[in-house]
Amino acid sequence: MLLAQEPTKKTEKLAPYYPTPETVVEEMLKMVGTKPGEKMFDLGSGDGRIVIMAAKKFQADATGVEFDADLYRQSSERIKALGLEKKARIIHGDIMVQDYSKADVITVYLLPISNDKVRPMLEKQLKPGTRIVAHDFEFSGWNPDKVMHIEDDGEGRSHTLYLYKR
């Protein structure tokens, strides 16, 4: 049986898989002020690294959404192997059709055009006070509360993080 949240033929690929380096993941979660017990969602969770660090290091209640079957399986297995099932999970589904109404924190690493698609959906759903951190691509139409440049992630790549509050 197909669950409502699972990817369908209509699911649009909003970005290719390109992981955030672990050092940058930590900066994102610090910048957005992730606190123990807070509900955090990573939109397009890849190998689950943001979800896993949010649960393990920041004690958040962390959920990833990933439509790629292999990445979903791999990240779910890693969560299990680390014994984090109570604090972390991956939804095998489409970013565009999930419920983020209880989110305290959202992390995003998609493309600029995808941020434009995701933005109205988040504006409809997010409760006041939700914090969002976007990696490398800002949300046009939203004013960031803070912008952070990371000159070198340890592998010579630079990054920019954008923090927003609804």
Residues 55-94 that bind ligand SAM (CB under 6 A): 65-68, 71, 94
Choose between 88 and 128: whose C-beta lies nearer to ligand SAM: 88
d(CA 27, CA 152): 12
> First vs last Cα of the chain: how many Å apart?
36
With beta carbons less than 8 A apart as the criterion, state whether 95 and 122 touch.
Answer: no
14 counts as binding ligand SAM under rule CB under 6 A = yes
Q: What is the DSSP letter of 73?
A: H
Residues 130-149 that bind ligand SAM (CB under 6 A): none
d(CA 106, CA 98): 13
Choose between 128 and 130: whose C-beta lies nearer to ligand SAM: 130
Summarize as ranges the residues that interact with ligand SAM (CB under 6 A): 11-15, 17-20, 42, 44-46, 49-50, 65-68, 71, 94-96, 109-110
